[in-house]
Amino acid sequence: MEYRRVKDQSYDDLSQKDVESLSGRSLSSVNATGLSSAGGAKGKSNWKLKSVVTLALTLLTSSQAILIVWSKRAGKYEYSVTTANFSVEALKCLLSLAALFRTWNRHGVTDDNRLTTSFDEVSVYPIPAILYMVKNLLQYYIFAYVDAPAYQILKNLNIISTGVLYRIILKKKLSAIQWAAFILLCAGCTTAQLNPSSDHVLQTPIQGWMMAIVMALLSGFAGVYTEAIIKKRPSRNINVQNFWLYIFGVIFNLVAICVQDYDAVMNKGFFHGYSFITVLMILNHALSGIAVSMVMKYADNIVKVYSTSVAMLLTAVVSVFLFNFHLSLAFFLGSTVVSVSVYLHSVGKLQPQK
């Protein structure tokens, strides 16, 4: 009897353990399934967001040069380019302020998102603001020497200036692949500008090349300087930093209006010569900065690479229909080499040693 009792008890214990084991397995499988489905939903959501951001950046980048050229009438701008540049900076400033208000409503005012007017906070922004102002004004005047597709090609020269300035200012090392990408980029830009049907070897005159190089240097230095400011205080809200940068952009562009177009603005009005295309161009320039910020936050650098490459092709194709642009073999080969060099520069970054 004692043997049977012990035997029955052992069977009961085993049965209970089996039930608990089965229950645990079923619960863990249910949890795993739930986590898997949640992870899949999150991954799908991130993929959709990346797709939207990539498409937006590609369309904004490709239409930037087209809208500037399209806003001209009889080969010249009927509006004041300084007022257009001022409007872009003012719109970006308002968008940053609106984003700040949204942050304050959601999370309250903290040390990292508070707008302060201390000298240490504000004094670092005038330098990149004035560099961006000169660069943005030059992009209107460069179209006297280049067309929209050529501008998209030459704009990639800022990759070289940014890389070299990274090495000099931020002491960041560049890989051998990145240096090779710089050489490919120069070769691609030159190939795209070859003009076999003319006595001139290159389609773009020396003035256009010089302006493109100056714009690349200004853009590179301003970008590296701005990144150094942001990384100096990484916890600082990006909209606060953007707000001060755009505020100084508004101030400097207001000075440019007074120096260059004061009489025209006073006699004809601030918005004289503006058209629907001009308004679209201003919106495009303002939203491009927002799109780049979203790419950095929600996507990755490879998205910028693909957007840049596709934008060059889209600009060329649209220019064929709008401006009778001749899509030559040299341009196609050059733009392909530029796309490859941009890709190599992106994937060739030195990996931090563990």
User: Are 128 and 225 spatial neighbours (Cβ–Cβ below 8 Å)?
Assistant: yes
Give pTM, 2 decimals.
0.74
Look up residue 117 and give its DSSP letter.
Answer: -
Closest CA to 170 of 231, 242, 218: 231
- The whole-angstrom separation of Cα 54 and Cα 47 is 10
**Structure token digits, residue 302:** 């490879």
With 80 as the cut, is the pLDDT of residue 142 above it? yes
DSSP letters along 10-33, please? Answer: HHHHHHHHHHHHHHHHHHHHHHHH
Q: Is 75 left (phi over 0), alpha (psi -120 to 50) or beta?
A: left
Q: Which of 54-58, 203-207, 289-293 has the lowest mean pLDDT?
A: 289-293
User: Are 52 and 307 spatial neighbours (Cβ–Cβ below 8 Å)?
Assistant: no
- The whole-angstrom separation of Cα 265 and Cα 262 is 5
User: Are 256 and 137 spatial neighbours (Cβ–Cβ below 8 Å)?
Assistant: yes
Q: Using the Cα atoms of residue 297, residue 298, residue 301 and residue 306 in order, give the sign of their dihedral.
A: negative
- pLDDT value at residue 276: 93
What is the tens place of the pLDDT at every residue in 88-141?
999 999 998 998 999 899 888 888 888 888 888 888 899 989 998 999 898 888
With 50 as the cut, is the pLDDT of residue 35 above it? no
- pLDDT value at residue 351: 62
pLDDT band at 195 (very low <50, low <70, confident <90, very high): low
Closest CA to 98 of 246, 233, 257: 246
User: Are 303 and 295 spatial neighbours (Cβ–Cβ below 8 Å)?
Assistant: yes
pLDDT band at 172 (very low <50, low <70, confident <90, very high): confident
With 90 as the cut, is the pLDDT of residue 50 above it? no
pLDDT band at 202 (very low <50, low <70, confident <90, very high): low
* φ, ψ dihedrals at 236, nearest 5°: -65, 135
- pLDDT value at residue 228: 78
User: Are 161 and 220 spatial neighbours (Cβ–Cβ below 8 Å)?
Assistant: yes
Summary mean pLDDT of the chain: 77
- pLDDT value at residue 85: 93
Q: 194 forms bridges with which residues in the sheet?
A: 202
- pLDDT value at residue 152: 76
What is the tens place of the pLDDT at every residue in 68-91?
988 988 778 999 999 999 999 999
Exposure b/e, 332-345, CB count within 10 A at least 16 = b: eebbbbbbebbbbb
